[in-house]
Structure 1
Amino acid sequence: MGVTQIANRLGIAKSAIHRHLQGLTERGYLTQNQSTTRYSLGPKAYLIGRLAPGIEDVATAADGPMRDARDKMGLTTVLTAPSMSGMVVLKTVHGTTSIAIGARPGSELPMHASAQGHVALAFGPSLHLERTLRQPLAPLTAHTITEPEKLKAMVETVRRNGHASAPEQALLGINALAAPVFNANDEFVAAAAIVSSIQFVPAEPDAGMIAAVVEMARQISRNLGHGYAGQRPAQ
C-alpha cells in the first residue's frame, strides 16, 4: 500500500502517516518497494506473524529445504531477510555436529560483514547498497571489508557467482555461505545460508558445498512460486 492510500483509509494526514511508516521501516517491520514506493510487511513483522496459525511465509516455505540441507551437510542452516539496518534472522535449523553454531531469530547481521548481507547487496534493491555505502563500514574483525570500493567489487563478484561467503568478517573463526531466495515476482526476499566454524565452512567452499546451498535457496524460491531453473542472471 502507498502513503496516500493508507492516509485516506485511516483519515490521518499524509505527513503523519509518512513518519510512522518510515519509523516502522527503519525498525524492520515494513519494507518499501523502491520502484513503486509502496509498503509491505518486513522481516520483523513476519516473525510476529508466525505466532499466528495458518500464515504461510518465507520461513514456512524454507522449512523443508533448510532441514534437507542440514541433514545433507550436518551444518546449521539459517534464513535471513533484509531490513533497513541489516539482515534479520528469521529461522535457524541447528546442525547435527557435537558443537553447532547458529543465529538467534530476531538478531541482525551487518550488511557489509556477512555473507547474507553481501547477497542482499548483490540481488536486492539498489537502496541497500546505497545506504550501506553512505555509512561507515565498521571493522568488526581484521577481515571485515571497510573500504567502499572493495565492498562494491565484492558485490559484483557475488552477483556473478550467485552466492557469497564472508570468512571471519563478522566474528573470528566463523564463516557462512549464502545464496539468494526470490519470490514469484522475481524479487529478492531472503538469503539461505549455512553457518559454522571456518573448519567446516572454509574461506573457499568446495563445489559440492556451494551446490547444496544454492539448491537450498532454489527450493525455497520454488516453494514461494519462483520459477527460475538455474542461477539468476546478473542485473
Structure 2
Amino acid sequence: MPRTYTGESTLARAIRVLSAFEPDQPALSVSTIARRSQLHVATASRIVAELVAHGLLERGENREVRVGVRLWELASRASPTLSLHQAAMPYLSDIHAVVDHHVQLGVPDGDDVLFVERLSAKNAVINYSRIAGRLPLHASSSGHVLLAFGPQDQRERILRQPMKAYTAHTITDPAKLRDALDLVRRRGYALLPGHIHDDAAGLAVPVFDSLGKAIAALSIIGPNDDRLNAHVPLLLAAARGIRRALNPSATT
C-alpha cells in the first residue's frame, strides 16, 4: 500500500497528485496517481475529485484523469517564460520554414532543460523531447549550451554526478564533458550527433538576456548526416533577434 505522509497539508498532497503527470503519459488512472504520489488510493481519489470539481483535472470517457484546461490556463498566464515565448515564436517559425526539421526552445530548470516550445515537420527525424518535456543538461545540445554558458557551480556539480547515457555517443565522462563545454564556449554553439538517438543530431545556441546570462537554448533536431552545421549562422542570428526582442536596448 502506498505510504501516506503524516502532517502534510492538503495543498502539498494536491501538488504531489498534479506532479504525477508526465509529458509522455498525460492520462492516468487514479491507482497510478496514488502510486506515483505515494498516497493511499482513497486519499488520491478524494483529491482528484476536488481538483476535477475546480477544473484543474478532468476525467475522460474511460474514467482516466488528465490535466484540465483550467490548470493549463492558469499555468500559461503565470508562466515566467511567457515573454520569452512570445519573442521567440516568430524566429522559431522562420527557422522551421527554412530547415523543415524540429525546432525547439528550451529553458534551464534545475539540472534539466525544459522544452517550452517545439515546431515539427511531418517527416522529421525521431525526437525524444516535447513541449513540457525534459532532458538532462549533460545529454542534449540545448543542455550543453545552457551548461557551457551557465553558472560555474552548477557545471561543476553536474560534472561530479553520475550521468545517464542515452546512446554510445552520450558524453558521461566528466573530463570529456568539460572539454566539450569548453569547445561550446569557444564556438558559441553545440553540435551533438547521436547523443540522444543514434539517428538524430542536435544543434543549439544560447539565447542571452541583456546582462549576458543564458536564459534559453534555441535548437534544431535533424538527421545525423553532418548537414546541421550549415544552419549555425541561422540559429545565431535568430538568438540575437530574440535577445533584441526581449531587450530593445540590447546592441548584440
TM-score by length of 1: 0.69
**Alignment deviations for residues 39-86 of structure 1 (CA, whole Å, 9 cap, x no partner):** xxxxxxx99642469x84211111001101111222221000011121
Deviation at 1:182, TM superposition (A): 0.9
Is the contact between residue 146 and residue 217 of structure 2 (CA under 8 Å) also seen in structure 1? yes
1:140 aligns with 2:166: yes
Match of 2:101 in 1: 75
Within the candidate set 140, 146, 152, 1:126 is matched to 152
Match of 2:89 in 1: 63
Is the contact between residue 88 and residue 107 of structure 1 (CA under 8 Å) also seen in structure 2? yes
Closer, same or farther: CA 129–67 of 1 in aligned 2, 3 Å: same
Match of 1:42 in 2: none
Query: What secondary structure sits across from 2:205 in the alignment?
Result: strand
**Alignment deviations for residues 82-133 of structure 1 (CA, whole Å, 9 cap, x no partner):** 11121000101123x5346453111111211111111011111113312211
1:218 aligns with 2:244: no
Within the candidate set 224, 240, 245, 1:198 is matched to 224
Is the contact between residue 102 and residue 120 of structure 2 (CA under 8 Å) also seen in structure 1? yes
**Alignment deviations for residues 128-178 of structure 1 (CA, whole Å, 9 cap, x no partner):** 312211211222211111111110010010000000011111222111100
RMSD after superposition: 2.7
Is the contact between residue 94 and residue 101 of structure 1 (CA under 8 Å) also seen in structure 2? no
Unaligned segments of structure 2, at least 5 residues: 1-11, 13-18, 20-71
Query: What secondary structure sits across from 1:166 in the alignment?
Result: strand
Identity percentage over the alignment? 31
Closer, same or farther: CA 146–47 of 1 in aligned 2, 3 Å: farther
Letter matched to residue 210 of structure 1: V
1:18-167 equivalent positions in 2, closer than 5 A: 49-51=75-77, 56-95=82-121, 98-99=123-124, 101-102=126-127, 103-167=129-193
Higher RCO (Cα < 8 Å, 6 or more apart): 1
Is the contact between residue 149 and residue 185 of structure 2 (CA under 8 Å) also seen in structure 1? yes
Unaligned segments of structure 1, at least 5 residues: 1-19, 21-26, 28-45, 230-235
Closer, same or farther: CA 92–48 of 1 in aligned 2, 3 Å: farther
Structure 1's consecutive aligned runs of 4 or more residues displaced over 6 angstroms after TM superposition are: none
